[in-house]
Amino acid sequence: MQLSLPKAALPGVSVDNLHLLDDTCRVTDSPTHVTAQTGLQECGTIQNTSAHDKLTFINEIIANQVTYENGAVRGTTFRKRFQCEFLRQYEVSQGKDILYNIPSPRVQIVNANNSFTFEMHMFTSADFTATYKSDNFPLQVLHSDRIHYGLSVQSPLGNMELFALHCVSTPTMDPDDSPKVTIIQDGCDIDPTLTRDSTRSTDMALYFSIQAFTFPDSVDSNLVYLHCTMVICLKDDLNSRCREGCISARRRRDVGGDGRARRDSSNDLQQTVTQGPVRVLRDQEADSNIPVVGVAVGAVVGLASLLLLVVAVILVRRKRAKAQAKDFIGESSKVAIW
């Protein structure tokens, strides 16, 4: 985003003092204008999502009054808000480039002094050494191929362990959409083709492979997104969800049908990450060249054939209910997706 203002419109404003919401981001000036410029995830830019399916990115040019050593206050307080709006949905027809939403592979949760980065990546092969990048999506695979993906968490704490709570697949970025294929539920492997690579998995990284599949009752039956909910727990917490492991349907019935064997520990922290899409090619598509364009989630500008790729930053404040979890979870949290 960029905004230029004529200096003639800034009487009494200290141009040298102009900055954005992040006061380390300063404006540039020419003899006649001042210009502010920022990326959509930089300089304190705020993202809002409206009910009209628009993404709005907001920042401000700010100048505070200057207090001099002799106590004099000079200059005029100035705030000018500027924003950009982007549509999230487009209708496309055959013969034009097809636009796909490409979700971020990582979500960062900041709690007090601790930062936890949940990641989900798709790998190019079963050795889990190379990951696909955002510009590789949508991945194009055959029905005979397997999809390799990994879950991991980066944490400053050394006494943590990672648990795959749920993994589902839908034809959209919404994990609650329908139709839905359940891969892992309550820590139990549900899909019969799912395999875990136990030799490469660690306390904070898990690796899986699954046979490619499609959704016959979906509008786009060959489009597949994966959504996984991860939980990290303290290793020495005997009441953690990680310690419970797989909670089968029979076990849930045995404890009263409430879906839990016992209440999760207040020290547990969980997050859902989405990856995709994967496009499972039909036989007639395997030898054809269909134009596809991956669009990073955050914004799309449809102006002729122009595409703007952005990564959204979402800040969410959370409060923990229990004081005993402060050292691990903290009183408030911030979630960032990039």
Give 73 or 200, the one with higher predicted confidence.
200
User: Are both 187 and 266 inside the same structural domain?
Assistant: yes
Tens of pLDDT, residue by residue over 278-320, are 998 876 565 555 455 555 543 333 322 323 333 333 333 333 3
Give 208 or 223, the one with higher predicted confidence.
208
* Residue 284 included in any domain: yes
**277 cis-preceded (ω within 30 degrees of 0):** yes
The total of other beta-carbon atoms located within 10 Å of residue 44's CB is 18
User: Are both 79 and 204 inside the same structural domain?
Assistant: no
* Residue 6 included in any domain: yes
Amino acid in the structure at residue 242: C
Contact assessment for residue 141 and residue 194, using Cβ atoms and an 8 Å cutoff: no
User: Are both 321 and 199 inside the same structural domain?
Assistant: yes
User: Are both 275 and 175 inside the same structural domain?
Assistant: yes
Query: What pLDDT, on a 0 to 100 scale, did the predictor assign at position 90?
Result: 58
Query: What pLDDT, on a 0 to 100 scale, did the predictor assign at position 150?
Result: 97
Contact assessment for residue 316 and residue 328, using Cβ atoms and an 8 Å cutoff: no
| Domain boundary pick from 59, 87, 115 | 87
User: Are both 126 and 62 inside the same structural domain?
Assistant: no
From residue 133, alpha-carbon distances to 73, 244, 296, 335 in Å are: 52, 34, 11, 22
Tokens of 286: 């395997």
* Residue 61 included in any domain: yes
Contact assessment for residue 221 and residue 172, using Cβ atoms and an 8 Å cutoff: no
Give 329 or 140, the one with higher predicted confidence.
140
Q: How confident is the model at residue 219 (pLDDT cuts 50, 70, 90)?
A: confident
Query: What pLDDT, on a 0 to 100 scale, did the predictor assign at position 60?
Result: 92
Contact assessment for residue 122 and residue 148, using Cβ atoms and an 8 Å cutoff: yes
User: Are both 226 and 159 inside the same structural domain?
Assistant: yes
101 by DSSP, 3-state: which? strand
* Residue 93 included in any domain: no
* Look-up of token digits 């019935």: 253
Tens of pLDDT, residue by residue over 15-53, are 888 899 998 999 998 889 999 999 888 899 998 876 666
| Maximum mean pLDDT: which of 93-107, 194-208, 257-271 | 194-208
The domain of 65 spans 2-87
User: Are both 79 and 202 inside the same structural domain?
Assistant: no
CATH code, domain carrying 60: 2.60.40.3210
Tens of pLDDT, residue by residue over 80-119, are 899 888 876 655 555 555 677 888 898 888 776 788 999 9
Tokens of 110: 């900041």
* Residue 92 included in any domain: no
Tens of pLDDT, residue by residue over 119-174, are 999 999 999 999 998 889 999 999 899 999 999 999 888 889 999 999 999 998 89
Query: What pLDDT, on a 0 to 100 scale, did the predictor assign at position 293?
Result: 53
CATH code, domain carrying 114: 2.60.40.4100
**Range with lowest mean pLDDT among 72-81, 182-191, 237-246:** 72-81
User: Are both 141 and 234 inside the same structural domain?
Assistant: yes
* Residue 248 included in any domain: yes
Contact assessment for residue 273 and residue 230, using Cβ atoms and an 8 Å cutoff: yes
| Domain boundary pick from 87, 120, 153 | 87
User: Are both 130 and 44 inside the same structural domain?
Assistant: no
Tokens of 99: 């636009």
119 by DSSP, 3-state: which? strand
Average pLDDT over residues 192-201: 95
User: Are both 209 and 271 inside the same structural domain?
Assistant: yes
**Range with lowest mean pLDDT among 175-184, 185-194, 223-232, 265-274:** 265-274
User: Are both 23 and 171 inside the same structural domain?
Assistant: no
* Residue 143 included in any domain: yes
| Domain boundary pick from 49, 64, 87 | 87
* Residue 58 included in any domain: yes
Query: What pLDDT, on a 0 to 100 scale, did the predictor assign at position 13?
Result: 81
Contact assessment for residue 68 and residue 18, using Cβ atoms and an 8 Å cutoff: no
Mean pLDDT of the chain: 78
User: Are both 72 and 130 inside the same structural domain?
Assistant: no
**Range with lowest mean pLDDT among 158-162, 180-184, 321-325:** 321-325
Query: What pLDDT, on a 0 to 100 scale, did the predictor assign at position 330?
Result: 41
* Look-up of token digits 């409206």: 50
**Range with lowest mean pLDDT among 8-17, 224-233, 270-279:** 8-17
Query: Looking at the 3D structure of the chain, how many domains does it have?
Result: 2
